Amino acid sequence: MKKIYIVLTFTGTYLSKIIKWWTKNEFSHVSISLDRQLQEMYSFGRKNAYDIFRAGLVHEYIDKGTFKRFKNTKCKIYSLEVTNKQYEIIKKEVLEMYDNKEKYKFNLLGLLCVSINKKVNRKNYYYCAEFVKHIFDTADVENNLPYIVKPEDFKLIKGLEEIYQGYLRDYEY
């Protein structure tokens, strides 16, 4: 068995505040990490910490980019045990997508439609929660995630273990 990590965050950016207001949830963003140190953490978000208009599949870091710029990012980090086979599928899918990241776009329309409980399917377009759900579904990780998924829905996955809550900058593994 291996572990993957689900990272829920709230940066305090304008978009994250809007998402928080719409969803009435504590967190507005979700990432998946292949390691406890969060060195292999991926999601759909800003490509540049200072540019809200360029977004897509990104390799995220605690101490670089958006999370470095927004030092008061709040988070909850969960571990989830998966089989070795599921882990390898997850890793392969994430890295293949990242190697071809220019092919994937941020699903802003899909994100906006979440607020009116509508799903917008567009090939190769994802927002953060759609991406992580896609990874789970590709690896057949058991989940009870809804069709229209939001970051906080990941809290409901059976078998999650909360390993940290606080400021992302203070996370020690």
Domain CATH code at residue 117 = 3.90.1720.10
Q: The domain containing residue 152 runs over which residues?
A: 2-170
Number of independent structural domains in the chain: 1
Asked if residue 29 lies in contact with residue 11, where contact means CB atoms within 8 angstroms, the answer is yes
CB 42 within 8 A of CB 5: no
Question: What are the mean pLDDT values of the chain's consecutive 10-residue runs (173 residues total)?
Answer: 98 89 91 98 91 90 94 97 98 98 95 89 96 98 95 95 98 92
Backbone angles phi, psi at 84, to 5 degrees: -60, -40
Report pTM.
Answer: 0.95
